[in-house]
Structure formats: C-alpha cells, structure tokens
Structure 1
Amino acid sequence: MTIRNLFPTPFYEGAIDPALLEDLEHSCRSLARDDRAGRAWSKEHGYAGYTSYASLTDLPQRDPAFDDLRRDLDRHVKAFAAAAHLDIAKRLKLDSLWVNVLKGGGHSGHIHPHSIVSGTVYVSVPPGAGALKLEDPRLPLMMASPSRLLDAPEETRNFVYAVPQPGTVFLWESWLRHEVPSGSAKTERISISFNYS
C-alpha cells in the first residue's frame, strides 16, 4: 500500500535579528501612546489594546526601526517564496505593515486578501499570550470527515498552534486562515504584522 501526502501548506518559522527587538519595542510602545487615530479606531472596533492597522501606512518611512525590520523581512520572505516554490516574476514587495499591542485580547479567524505572503513578527510574548492558530484550508470541504486522533501527526490535524518567542517571524501564504485566541497574559503582547504583494 502507498499513501501520498498531497497539497501541503507551507508555514515558515524564523527569527529576526535580535538587535532589532529593543528598538522595535520602543517604537511600538511609542505608537500605542501617541497614535490617537489608531487608539480611537481600536476603541471603536472593540480591539483589546492598540493597532496601527487603520491609522498609519508608512511605518518604514516614519521610523528607522521599521525600515531595518523591512530589510530583514525581505530576506525571510525571499527564502520562504523559494522554499514554497512560488512562481513569482518580480520580487515580492512589502505592501503593508502594522503594529499590534494586545493585553489579553485576540484576533478572530481571517485571511489577508490581495497579498501573496503574510506574516507576523513577535516583539514581546508574555506568559499566557495566545499562540497563532492555523486552520486547515480544506476544513470547509470536509463535511462528514471524522476528527483526528489526539496523537495524530501535525500535518493531519485540522488546527495547528504555532507558539512564538520574542524575535520569532512566522510567514504563510495570505490565503491561509489564521487567528489569535484570547490569552491570559498579564502584560502586553507586542507583534508586527505585514503583507507582501
């Protein structure tokens, strides 16, 4: 008998230059304090903390720490695209980048339309912070498929949890549905999310 595992979903885990973390944390906390439009949007939309998602679109031009991060991410995204065998005519380019400062909150399941590669860099990950929850993209089509055994290999599960550390960078194709379940952290979880087109 032969079993072939088909249709893999690539997920990349790497680390940014550790020298960037201190500057990024300072910049993220400064934005959370000073970006009134971002704080207002976060409050209006019930976001448990702060995000620059709807307020600032020029972070790499605004702050050298984010530009240094962009250069580091370019390298990771290039490696991911090659490993995933993506047939890309032009080099992928950073399309958007935003800061998230959460205390106990989460992000419901979503995808990132109009992008090719998406990801998150983790700046501060306190104990109890939520992991990144990834959903099998075939899940809506499974109808009567039984659940998987508790000790099933990771590649056969319906959901996989990726637990970050400070400096972790996760990358995935933008169509992959993901979420951050609410955590129980007593301090703020700081991350920077982004899209490449």
Structure 2
Amino acid sequence: MTPTDPPKAGGRVVQLFATPVIIDELDDAATLNAALETAILARMNEDPGLRMSNQGGWQSKHDLPAWAGAAGKRLIDHATALATANTRTTRGGSATWSVDAWANVSAAGASNRAHVHAGSFWSAVYYVRVGEGEGGALVLHDPRMPGLRMHAPSLRFNNEDAEIFAAIRPVAGLMVLFPAWLAHSVDPWQGSGSRISVAMNIRAVTRVAGAAAGPTTTAMLDEDKDDARL
C-alpha cells in the first residue's frame, strides 16, 4: 500500500444490545380462536371494562385466566413456554412465571397510545380475530430514541434492521412476545367488524438454587446479567 492508495475499511462489526422480539403462530389457532372469541364476547356483555392505553374499544379487567377456561390456559401456557425458551437466569435455579392477561375488542377507529408494561419481564399479544381492512398494526418503538436521531437524523447504520419503529401486521393466530420495557402502541384500526386480541404481562418468579423450600420470590432475572468481553 502506498501513501496515495485509498484506505481500506476493515475491522469487524459487533451488534450489541439487541432487543428480542419473538413471533410465533399457533398450530391449533382456528379451534383455539373460536373458543376464545366466544368467551371474550360473553365477558364483554358482563364487564364494562377498563380505560387504560386503549383509545376506544373495550378492554377487560386483567383476570382473563379466571373466565377464559381451557382456551385461556392453553394460550397462557404457550406464551410462558416461549418466555422460558428465550430467557436465562444468572442466579441458578429456574424461572417460573406469573401472568395476568386481558382481552381487547376494537372496532373501527380504536387504537392504543404508546406505553410500556412496568413491573414485568415479558409482554405478549395474541390475535384472536382480525377483521377486513387496514391499520391496527402493533408498533414497537426503538428504545434508542430520541438519542438515535439527535445528531444526524438523515443517517442510518449499515446492516441494521428496523430503526425508529417496527410495525407488525395483525394476523389471527399470531403471538408476539417482547420485553415489557419496550414502548409499543397500536395504530387505529380502519376496517369492518372487530379486532379481538389477548394481551399479557409475564412476570418473573425465581427460586435461588439451594434455597430452603418456601414461598417463591419475585425478582428481575437480569440483575446480575453478564457483561460482554470483546
């Protein structure tokens, strides 16, 4: 290489601080969704619902496991299996989960403003019914914002996936699992019929290896998370 040769770009790229998002489709969705829809619509006739992040539509109390029967248990078991498969603990022992879940029924124009689920490790959403029409996407917001755009908003890193936000189109039978601290919203639904979904907070319950038998204690699993030695 001579002094007049252009410099060669080298080095290696290390992608750090990834945000895991698990997308899954249930094999028995048609049968499961029929049972869930029946239970949810019956509950909506009895329960005035809550006003949380939802703008329009109906949201049940966070007690779906108490009234959704075997279909509700099947859904929660699937979500916790995904959580277990995608979580490790640095404390020894194994993680178990405490889940609260609720149903959402959204007509045209309904949406959810951006929010997080404090006090949980994972959050999940499952789509029971998706009517015909546009909108209603689950929008996951880049946790690096606004710092990511403060210096040079027109630049992008090479070989990156979504930046600023990622939108996931709802499909009946689709489950999405993501960190509970990740801000998310739902675009306004512009279609016919109703969109029905189930949302969950999945909290970590750990038993430290070697501890005496007794009540489990709730603890964040990443308090002693390993750092990276590059």
Instruction: Name the structure 2 match of 1:146.
Output: 153
Q: Which of 118, 124, 132 pairs up with 2:129?
A: 124
Q: Deviations over 1:54-111 (max 9, x none)?
A: xx34321323121222222222222232xxx564754231331011101131111111
Cα deviation, residue 46, structure 1: 7.3
Instruction: Name the structure 1 match of 2:106.
Output: 102
Q: Say whether the 8 Å CA contact 2:58–2:104 is kept in structure 1.
A: yes
CA shift in 2, pair 1:80/1:194, >3 Å: same
Partners of 1:137 and 1:9 in 2: CA distance: 9
Amino acid at match of 2:165: F
Q: Which of 37, 46, 51 pairs up with 1:34?
A: 46
Q: Say whether the 8 Å CA contact 2:136–2:188 is kept in structure 1.
A: yes
SS in 2 for 1:92: strand
Q: Deviations over 1:143-185 (max 9, x none)?
A: 2232456xx8661421111112101000011111111011212
Instruction: Name the structure 2 match of 1:114.
Output: 119
Structure 1: where are the runs of 5+ without partners? none
SS in 2 for 1:139: coil
SS in 1 for 2:86: helix
Deviates more, 1:71-80 or 1:100-109: 71-80
Q: Say whether the 8 Å CA contact 1:148–1:157 is kept in structure 2.
A: no
Partners of 2:38 and 2:99 in 1: CA distance: 23
Q: Which of 154, 167, 172 pairs up with 2:173?
A: 167
Partners of 1:47 and 1:74 in 2: CA distance: 28
| Structure 1 residue ranges (4+ consecutive) displaced by more than 3 angstroms after TM superposition | 44-47, 85-90
Q: Greater helix share, 1 or 2?
A: 1
Partners of 1:135 and 1:46 in 2: CA distance: 17
Q: Deviations over 1:17-63 (max 9, x none)?
A: 32311101111111122213x1xx44x987311101xxx34321323
Q: Which of 85, 94, 97 pairs up with 1:93?
A: 97
TM-score of the pair, normalised by structure 2: 0.72
Partners of 1:78 and 1:131 in 2: CA distance: 26
Q: Say whether the 8 Å CA contact 2:36–2:68 is kept in structure 1.
A: no
Instruction: Name the structure 2 match of 1:22.
Output: 34
For this pair of structures, how many residues does the alignment match? 185
The answer as to 2:20 corresponding to 1:13 is no
Instruction: Name the structure 2 match of 1:184.
Output: 190
Larger Cα Rg: Structure 1 or Structure 2?
2
Partners of 2:183 and 2:137 in 1: CA distance: 14
Amino acid at match of 2:187: P
CA shift in 2, pair 1:96/1:141, >3 Å: same
Q: Say whether the 8 Å CA contact 2:136–2:170 is kept in structure 1.
A: no
RMSD: 2.4
